[in-house]
Structure 1
Amino acid sequence: MPIRKTTIIIAFFCIVKISLHLIADSNSGFQGDELLHIETGNHPSFGYMEFPPVIGWLAFIQNQFHSQSVFVHHIFSHIASFLILILIALTTLQLGGKSKAVFIVLLCILTAPAFGRGHQLFQPVVFTHFFWLLSFYQLVRFVKTLDKKYLLYLTICLSFGFLTKYDILFFIAGLSGLLLFKSTRTSILQKDIWKYILLFIILIAPNVIWQYKQGFPVLDMFSRLYETQLDKLTILGVLESIVISLNPLTLFFWIGGFIYMFRTKNNPNYYRPIAFTIVISIFLMALNKSKAYYFYPAIITLLIFGSIWFEQKILSKRQWILYPAIALLVVSGLVLIPFGLAVLPLDTFIKFAAVEKKDNRYEIEYTEYYSKSKWEETMGGIKTVYDSLPMNERRDCLIWGKHYSQAGGVNLFRENYELPKAFSYHGSFYLWTPEKGELPKTIIAFSNGEAGIDFFQSFFRSVVAVKQIYNPYADDEKDLWQTIYICKEPTLNFEQLRTEFKTRIFE
């Protein structure tokens, strides 16, 4: 009976979560980074400038549908979000939780807007959550049983986690906490640990070799991130962002879990080795000034312990507390979910969130709420400019998107508008530009406020701004206008442009 009850709980939350994601699909367009990730599927490889290869392999499969549908390009994100809930529930049960603990932890996940958005978009985030939690599940089973087969499973999971997103290295570093305890240290050192290390190296080697051949561009990206973003972060600022984005009410559970997992009285003796791996991971992320979303998978593990603590220490004495706790989480979730998932149409969200119109625009932080209409206007504008060109110029014309999301959007939607392909020297798009040859005599270029006419004037003798597209939902001045240019008489060829942008791909 308890197993059946827990299964029903898991099934209920999976159905609700998938339903919310499908509703969001119908109300939203693509977030900018997704357009890059979709494009990687047209260039499957062992690596990309910004991230490891798994996202490209998944995109390759999705791209076989030849669809521009948000749903199609979210298929793997939805599958991963579904599996994440199951993993969280199974790990909770492994650590001694029962049905009420499973219910609470899944409700915390469902009502946290960060998990709604993070598990919706086609980005490495949702897949790294999956592999982080799958690795954590194998870790729990190993620490409980000291069975070496779980070390093998853990090694494989960590390898695929590395090939998904490099922040799994924080989890791997956290495993050093196992060496602080005699039982786990003895078991690890007696089980030919070098074999597992070798297996990990073999599995990640193709991506490491790819990065080496390209001069480790990911290090340049991190350097740029620290220069423009990470160095400006503060611990208090990141903590505030975590608390708000994960639903302030869940703080009660993950702080409770943090304390509870270190207690030795009446708790299983395998709790503390696991606790140290979590804490070391969190400490290293904080030390490296990580963004808030880097901490999310580690906080999920705290929520698991918190739900067990709530079930065993709070509800065992005051059963009635369960009902107001559920009610508060549900009510808060109803308020917060639209700030992570586009479960409301844009006009309804503006009213719901009480977004006031200022300077003739609504400032909407979540671009997927309005990106569908934005891209319709952008593609329509580019089509108008393209059709205005003489036929002989149209024949060889290409489109230059300053930002990778702009080039990615054109390449995804261009067939509907009978437009030529787009290229860019930003991010991984640099890899797919021609290595040699002359530029066409006419290029249609476009950018937002990050780059003005002077950017393109560096590469063409004639650059004319011919159309501007206004974004009434931009929350940043640079996104307020997109400008379309007609560029003629290039001064550099493709080979020279690649040399010019080789050290500027993240600018």
Structure 2
Amino acid sequence: MPSVRPPSQIRWLALIAFALLVLRLFTNTRYGFHRDELALLDDARELAWGYVAYPPLTPALGRISLELFGESLTGFRLFAALAQSISVVLAGLIARELGGGRGAQIVTGLVAALAPFSMVAGGLMQYVSVDYAWWVLLAWLVLRLGNSGDARWWLAIGAAIGLGMLTKYTMVFCVAGVVAATLATPLRAHLRSQWLWMGVALSLLLFLPNALWQWQHDFISLEFLQSIHARDMRIGRTDGFLLGQLYGNAGLLALPLWLLGLGWLVLSPEGRRYRALAWMYAVPLLLFALAQGRAYYLAPAYPMLVAAGCVAAERWLRARRPLRLWTSRLGAVTLSLWIAAMAVGSGLVGLQLAPVNSTGWRISRAAHDNFAEQIGWQDLVAEVARIYSCLTPEERTRTAIFANNYGEAGAINLYGRQYGLPRAISPVNSYWYRGYGMTSPQTVIVLGDDREGMADTPADCVVVTRIRNRFDVPNEETRDHPEVFLCRNLRMDWAEVWPAMRKFG
């Protein structure tokens, strides 16, 4: 790989990234906390080296947000927005490493900023949002290693892998791509370098605290992942993995660009010098397909392919300079319309702009349910508080709120304080480890269940209300389990039954 690179367009890339961040700061407050964010808030308050559903880095970032901004929706989502903005800059720098000039770098940054998955991820504080940036960073680092020939870059690669594993365990699929790229390209010469093995050691050292936590907790996350994967397969969430790669991650309008980039990396004499990126895409693609993963798991691999496509297109245009005067204005108009179309499409799908139940809302709802799962949590808590307030003061002292999913538990713990509600208890994920409290509840308000599920409860249970929200938005709470139960005269030993209650969600 050549060591000479075109001038960096870092100022333009930083401007695009900053514009995207500002857009996020002004749009991330439209609805409310997502159910995943509500659980993450509770985990951020209970810092540990591991959690049932994910590694510890994202809750740690959430804790920093809480310390800096309190329970601000915009503040809590800041790191997710930053991760996407950083990815924009890194994508443009990948184009530079591939030999791309000003146009290739800037267009790469724009396309990366407007990718539908990235647009949604920048508005939700989830581990997938942070994981995205580690994959893009790793692609850039591998290119820097190859272009510079400086084996010390393995330390940075090792650090990125270690931090990525502390963010989301699917980083192991990206690592498999890096291993394949190392073995199948001239990078294998580094197998004799101490820096490569020092990078491996660094990645393992960073991941060690979470590995020890998993060992102490009987590798509970493996059991969780198996359970969630079985559920996803059962309800069809893993269907259409390969088809989903064509439209759901980089976006349908970017399809020709990243396909061009992949072809350039594999077939072009110039592109084959960077074929490590092709391995970093093909191996995770194959592994996710075999494992029947969800389509968005591979979303972080597309910025590098988009960069390759922009570089290939730029080189093709440069080779046809006689046409340049004739096509310059037409090309500029075409490019502007294409970028505008991407912005409109991705904005409708990913930005929290449209009023609830408007046409724009329905368009985004057709693509995903993330916005619907941000609606109604305060209404739910207010209704639970109404039921709780109807109990006698004596009964309230021995009453618990039992949540069958983590969104309900997180909502009670976030919004319930203003009503004087006790903290929710839940058998789901890491909530189960926190137990049912110092004393055994004798009365329980039950959320997230149905009559069939409550039929064998050893107590006197009645339906006391149904969950609704002020916008009449159908979501998991209002559609799947809207009934709220009040159970008195519990006839069970909590210490005996709690260990068997654990479940995953």
What TM-score comes out, normalization by structure 2 length? 0.89
Which residue, out of 459, 462, 465, partners 2:460?
A: 462
Corresponding residue number in structure 2 for 1:444: 445
Percent of paired sites with the same residue: 21
Ranges in structure 1 where 5+ consecutive residues have no aligned partner: 357-361
The worse-fitting range, judged by mean Cα deviation, of 375-384 and 150-159 is: 375-384
Change (3 A) 1:494 1:148: farther
Is 1:168 matched with 2:171?
A: yes
Matches within 5 A, 1:8-407: 8-65=11-68, 67-181=70-184, 183-191=186-194, 193-230=196-233, 237-245=240-248, 246-267=250-271, 270-314=273-317, 316-317=319-320, 319=324, 320=327, 321-347=331-357, 350-352=358-360, 365-368=368-371, 371-372=374-375, 374-407=376-409
Residues 448-491 of structure 1 show CA distances to partners (whole Å, capped at 9, x for unaligned) of xxx21343454441112111123522156973652222122223
CA positional deviation for 1:282: 2.0
Q: Deviations over 1:153-193 (max 9, x none)?
A: 10011000001001110111112223444632122223364
C-alpha displacement of 1:74: 0.7
Distance 1:490 1:65, change over 3 A: farther
Alpha-carbon spacing, 1:425–1:210, altered in 2? closer, same or farther (3 Å): same
- Deviation for aligned residue 1:392: 0.7
The residue identity in structure 2 corresponding to 1:468 is R
Question: CA 1:236–1:124 in 2, change beyond 3 Å: closer, same or farther?
Answer: closer
Deviations 1:359-383 (A, max 9, x none): xxx98943435734x1221121011
Contact 1:62 1:75 in 2 (8 A): yes
Aligned residues: 490
How far did 1:406 drift?
Answer: 0.6
Identify if the C-alpha distance between structure 1 residues 240 and 189 changes in structure 2 by more than 3 Å, giving closer, same or farther.
same
Tell whether the 8 Å contact from 2:464 to 2:484 is kept in structure 1 after alignment: yes
* Contact 1:92–1:304, Cα closer than 8 Å, also in 2: yes
Deviation, 1:338, is: 1.9
The 1:378/1:121 distance shift into structure 2, 3 A limit, reads: same
Cα distance between partner residues in 2 of 1:256 and 1:364: 26
SS across alignment from 2:32:
coil
Structure-1 separation of matches of 2:305 and 2:69: 41
Residues 239 and 178 of structure 1, relative CA distance in 2, 3 Å threshold:
closer
Give the 3 Å change call, closer, same or farther, for CA 438–181 of structure 1 in structure 2. Answer: closer
Indicate the larger mover: 279-288 or 399-408. Answer: 279-288
Cα 1:67–1:437 shift into 2, 3 Å: closer
- 3-state secondary structure, aligned to 2:401: strand
CA shift at 1:425, angstroms? Answer: 0.4
| Structure 2: distance between partners of 1:300 and 1:244 | 14
Distance 1:380 1:294, change over 3 A: same
- Separation in 2, partners of 1:304, 1:311: 11
What is the match of residue 488 of structure 1? 488
Amino acid at match of 2:232: Q
Q: Which runs of 5+ in 2 are unaligned?
A: 1-5
Distance 1:232 1:189 in 2: 47
What is the CA–CA distance in structure 2 between the aligned matches of 1:364 and 1:420, rounded to whole Å? 37
Residue deviations 1:381-400, cap 9 Å, x none? 01110110001112232211
Cα separation, 2, equivalents of 1:363 and 1:253: 25
**1:34 Cα deviation after fit:** 1.2
Helix, strand or coil: the match of 1:422?
coil
